[in-house]
A and B are shown apart, each in its own frame.
Chain A
Amino acid sequence: MGRYVVRRLLQMIPVFIGTTFLIYYMVYQLGGDPISAMFGDKGADPVFVRQMREEFHLNDPLIVQYWYYITDLLHGDFGTSFNGRPVADELKRAFPVSIRLAMIAFAIEVVVGVGLGLLSGLRRGKFVDTLVLAGTLVVISIPVFVLGTVAQFWLGSEWGIFEATATVGDATWSQLLLPGIVLGSLSLAFVARLTRTSVAENMRADYVRTATAKGLPRRRVVTRHLLRNSLIPVVTFLGADLGALMAGAIVTEGIFNVDGVGRLIYLAVTKHESSTVVGAVAALVMIYLVMNLIVDLLYAVLDPRIRYA
């Protein structure tokens, strides 16, 4: 097990370099001169521009620029954006907000998703099952920006059940509740369906029949024997999804005015802030990689048949 972890950690290095380089390259290819972009229509002093370009190594070849970047990054320096603010500060501000948002979405996804999935899996073909299937299908079909705006208008503004927008700077938990629900709803639908299928399939498994034949109470048969086995594929999905919840919240964050990572990346891309974009994406890649590792290790814990050599 220990050797497996070490090997997986080592594997993360090329993946990390590869992804950051790709992002770096893509931002570079976006074109446009970031220095002139800072001055807008006024036009800039050519001498100053030359000086800035020199300072930010913008005249060097791409690979050299990337080298400067990655060595700084390994020293914990995410670089500075062109307006002089350290990228690390921007990340420090945006990530906690996104992490909080993702946690809310994740909690809803796990509790409601697994709950609904179990319920409909146990009562396959009954009314509850049909209701869950239809409901999740609706959620899956509706684009997030429609769901988000509708939820914001009715639940937030009209009925005032939730707070409709978040404050820029530091969003509170209660402000993040509605965006969290919207963000988690799509994954929730997937989790519910995945759990349902898994539960319905395992219900007919021989070992569940054995558990019943042992005279165990129904509750124990369902939670200890049926659910435990049924959750193995669900956990895999959940792990990968936690990364996606953090990165993929651009639309949701936009609707609810949440000042998180999605918004940071969006703004940075429009402003050609390459160091911010790459920095934020690099951090997301790290989160993805670590989540994946945790999922794989969890897999071995959940299913003893999987042995890591």
Chain B
Amino acid sequence: MTTIDTKNKPEGSGPAAAAPLLEVDNLHVEFRTRDGVAKAINGVSYDVSAGETLAVLGESGSGKSVTAQTIMGILDMPPGHITGGEIRFHGKDMLKMSKEERRKIRGQKISMIFQDALSALNPVYSVGFQLAEMFTVHRGMSKKDAKLKSIELMDQVRIPAAKDRVNDYPHQFSGGMRQRIMIAMALALDPELIIADEPTTALDVTVQAQVMDLLAELQRERNMGLILITHDLGVVADVADKIAVMYAGRIVEQAPVRELYRQPTHPYTKGLLESIPRLDHKGRELYAIKGLPPNLMRIPSGCAFNPRCPYAQDVCRSEIPPLHEISVGRGSACHFWETVMEGEVRG
């Protein structure tokens, strides 16, 4: 697949360099529990290149976080089982690698930023210790050097008075500062890819923008790939290059960010866009997609979205729509994508 991204590509990045950094290919993951099998991911494919930001959008339970955890190799197995597909990093399938090989990728090549920094940071160690750990364990640095590097990192993510705060504990920081520490930790070893799982969801709205800008800026500077997982369409618009919309463990629409906003080709995406509150529609009732996300143990036959879809026909209840290619880098898993595309976005 060709990448659409053109932002700040380093010089000399020819067609060879445009080969994706990470490719998720037809991934299937299920959770086997006592109550039954929940099919969390049912054939997800996406790719990210260096310097590119892919936003993965979806409700809770759509499989966006499970995909990320599978890429990181931190999925709880059991109950999770990978039942098919490949995750290629630099063309090599990580699912076939040994545990030790995968561990060496984690943190060094691919790192992750979690949603709630307060619970994601260890409460009994100072932030300095938790940052320094990256250098002492992976790089064999002395504790003293690692601490200096930690302070440097904290400066880079703009934590004021980093030198004085390096020995403070996570609970002594504000939410925004804690998330900056998470970002610093993810950046520590100059990874090639960062997965940010709802990095701003737990933050105040005013702080959200700051943290997001910081993340986007650092990503540009270092030409990293970024997978941004979110359910917030507002966050996505400014920073993402392309978007993958997930529903019930499938990608229902994939598109460059501007095209998706302008002309959604899947009823679900359209519904999401229409349910964004807009100032010029003040006083009107806010649109909401009717119904609830499906139970992953009983995903509806055919298109999983059909019970909630205003466009649904008989074929939607019997046949799973494939991801139709609309143009380069653009696809929709809807039988009636052309009809959806023609319709205007209400709101």
Contact = CB atoms under 8 A, between A and B. Distances in A.
Interface in B62-98: 72, 74, 76
B124 interface: yes
Nearest to A205: B119
Interface string A4-46: 0000000000000000000000000000000000000000000
A214 B114 contact: no
B185 interface: yes
A303 interface: yes
Interface size range of chain A in the complex: 20 to 34
B74 A220 contact: no
A246 B120 CA distance: 41
A98 to B, nearest CB: 34
B74 A207 contact: no
B108 A206 contact: no
B74 A213 contact: yes
A304 B74 contact: no
A210 B134 contact: no
A215 interface: yes
Interface residues of B, number: 27
Contacts of A228: 124
A229 interface: yes
A188 to B, nearest CB: 25
A218 to B, nearest CB: 8
B124 A214 contact: no
Contacts of A112: none
Q: Specify the main secondary structure of chain A where it touches its partner.
A: helix
B256 interface: no
Contact of A207 (B107, B112, B121): B121
Given A228-B124, A302-B124, A305-B171, A213 B106 contact: yes
B120 A215 contact: no
A229 B123 contact: yes
A215 B116 contact: no
A214 B121 CA distance: 11
B116 A206 contact: yes
Interface string B103-123: 111111001101010011111
B161 interface: no
A206 B114 contact: yes
B169 A212 contact: no
A56 B169 CA distance: 59
Given A229-B122, A304-B169, A215 B112 contact: no
B123 A303 contact: yes
- Which of A204, A209, A220 gathers the greatest number of chain B CB atoms within 10 Å? A209
A304 B121 CA distance: 13
Contacts of A210: 114, 120-122, 185
Contacts of A232: 124
B158 interface: no
Contact of B120 (A204, A209, A216, A303): A209
- Which of A206, A207, A213 gathers the greatest number of chain B CB atoms within 10 Å? A213
A143 interface: no
Contacts of A206: 114, 116, 119-120
Contact of A220 (B112, B114, B137): B137
Contacts of A268: none
B197 to A, nearest CB: 10
14 contacts: A206-B116, A206-B120, A211-B122, A213-B107, A214-B185, A215-B105, A216-B103, A216-B137, A229-B123, A303-B123, A304-B123, A304-B169, A305-B124, A305-B169
Given A210-B185, A212-B74, 18 more contacts: A206-B114, A206-B116, A207-B120, A207-B122, A209-B120, A210-B120, A210-B121, A212-B106, A213-B72, A213-B107, A213-B111, A215-B105, A216-B133, A217-B137, A229-B124, A303-B123, A304-B123, A305-B123
Interface of A: 204-207, 209-217, 220, 225, 228-229, 232, 302-305
10 smallest CB-CB distances across A and B, nearest first, come from: A215-B107, A215-B106, A206-B119, A207-B122, A214-B107, A206-B120, A304-B169, A213-B112, A210-B120, A212-B74
